Amino acid sequence: MSDDRFRLFRDKMFGLYGEGRYAEALAHVEQGAPEFPQQWTDLTYWKVCLATRSGDVPLALRILSEAAGHGWWWSEIGLRQDPDLQPLHGLPEFEQLVDLCRERHAAAQALSRPELRIIQPQTGTPPYPILIALHGAAGSADEFASHWQPAAAHGWLVGVPQSSQMSAPTRFDWRDLEVGTQEILGHYDTILKRHPVDAHRTVLAGFSQGGRTAIWLTLSGILPARGFIGIACALSDPDEIRRLLRDREPKHRGYLMVGTKDYVYPQVLAMAELLRSYSITLKVETIDGLAHEIPEDFARRSARALDFLLS
């Protein structure tokens, strides 16, 4: 129930943002934030972005400074590359806060380690099929794992890795593909050694940045997966896709989910067309009106995707 309430709260905020009603979106976040203390990192960052978009730079800096005063930080990459924060660049207070965030990020990163959540299959008999699900940027294994409980209920052993690469406290990403690859391969090896699974029925899945990572690992053959599920994601470089598939016998299956209002929607369709030109069996499921997020009826859609990949 709490997840549904936050989804509605978040959707309203992004709806106002998309209409350019930044001050109303900011008021909405400020009013509702106390109801969602576990989302403090995201809510605070949204406030900074919305205050900046509203033209209230002093408020944006005050929110960011107060958060830093409580020991919080965000990655320099995020603070530098987010277009919402462009008006803050070069301001002495902002630059000092970026320096502080950089120091805190480095200290936290030095202690960060990859983690793995395992969801045991609730039905079926061993050896079980393997599903490895990768969270998106600024995500976590605990949050993402909840979406895959239905797969375990249908007999899958689900592994949900958490990247060691931090973007904020309790937030992780896969920005360094080489580091992420080694961590995911290590988790895969752990699953094979410790659980009664069928390596020939391995599927990689992921949302957004995690989905791109899952697709890349599958197409590259680095991790021997039967197929992939990509949610709101695409490999946007056609040359990279051609390089991955050059001289390779097409044997993978793929399942893509994307909303018609998602900013990656055109990229997903273009990638799908290219993958099909290499004789990859692919299903693209479009969800009318959905933005860059996981669909509400994901349990039903993911079950359909897994059946398609193993059919």
Helix axis angle for 40-53 and 2-18, nearest 10°, is 10
Residue-level pLDDT at 188: 98
Residue-level pLDDT at 309: 97
Clarify whether residues 190 and 119 are in a common domain: yes
Clarify whether residues 287 and 148 are in a common domain: yes
Final residue in a domain of this structure, among 80, 111, 142: 111
R_g of the chain computed on alpha carbons: 20
Domain of 17, in residue numbers? 2-111
Neighbours of 90 (CB within 10 A): 8
Q: How many structural domains are present in the chain?
A: 2
Assign 3-class secondary structure to 266-291.
HHHHHHHHHHHHCCCEEEEEEECCCC
Final residue in a domain of this structure, among 94, 111, 128: 111
Clarify whether residues 27 and 151 are in a common domain: no
User: With contact defined as beta carbons under 8 Å apart, do 117 and 190 qualify?
Assistant: no
Residue 31 backbone dihedrals phi, psi, to 5 degrees: -70, -40
- Give the span between the Cα atoms of 278 and 5, in whole angstroms: 42
- Give the span between the Cα atoms of 45 and 94, in whole angstroms: 14
Assign 3-class secondary structure to the chain.
CHHHHHHHHHHHHHHHHHCCCHHHHHHHHHHHHHHCHHHHHHHHHHHHHHHHHCCCHHHHHHHHHHHHHCCCCCCHHHHHHCHHHHHHCCCHHHHHHHHHHHHHHHHHHHHCCCEEEEECCCCCCCCEEEEEEECCCCECHHHHHHHHHHHHHCCCEEEEEECCEEEECCEEECCCHHHHHHHHHHHHHHHHHHCCEEEEEEEEEEECHHHHHHHHHHHHCCCCCCEEEEECCCCCCHHHHHHHHCCCCCCCEEEEEEECCCCCHHHHHHHHHHHHHCCCEEEEEEECCCCCCCCCCHHHHHHHHHHHHHC
Sign of CA dihedral 3, 4, 5, 7: positive
Clarify whether residues 75 and 138 are in a common domain: no
Residue-level pLDDT at 2: 55
Strands 165-168 and 171-173: what pairing?
antiparallel
Clarify whether residues 301 and 185 are in a common domain: yes
**C-alpha distance from residue 82 to each of 46, 52, 77, 78, 215 (Å):** 11, 11, 8, 6, 25
pTM listed for this prediction: 0.93
Final residue in a domain of this structure, among 111, 141, 163: 111
Clarify whether residues 170 and 279 are in a common domain: yes
Q: Digits of tens for pLDDT over the chain (311 positions)?
A: 357 788 889 889 988 998 899 999 999 999 999 999 989 999 999 999 999 999 999 999 999 999 999 999 999 999 999 999 999 999 999 999 999 999 999 999 999 999 999 999 999 999 999 999 999 999 999 999 999 999 999 999 999 999 999 999 999 999 999 999 999 999 999 999 999 999 999 999 999 999 999 999 999 999 999 999 999 999 989 999 999 998 777 678 999 999 998 989 999 999 999 999 999 999 999 999 998 899 989 999 999 999 999 98
Clarify whether residues 141 and 46 are in a common domain: no
Residue-level pLDDT at 187: 98
User: With contact defined as beta carbons under 8 Å apart, do 209 and 173 qualify?
Assistant: yes
HSE of 290 in the Cβ direction (CA atoms, 13 Å)?
Answer: 19
Determine the residue type at 308.
F
Clarify whether residues 87 and 225 are in a common domain: no
Clarify whether residues 164 and 26 are in a common domain: no
Residue-level pLDDT at 1: 39
Strands 157-162 and 128-134: what pairing?
parallel
In residues, how long is the chain? 311
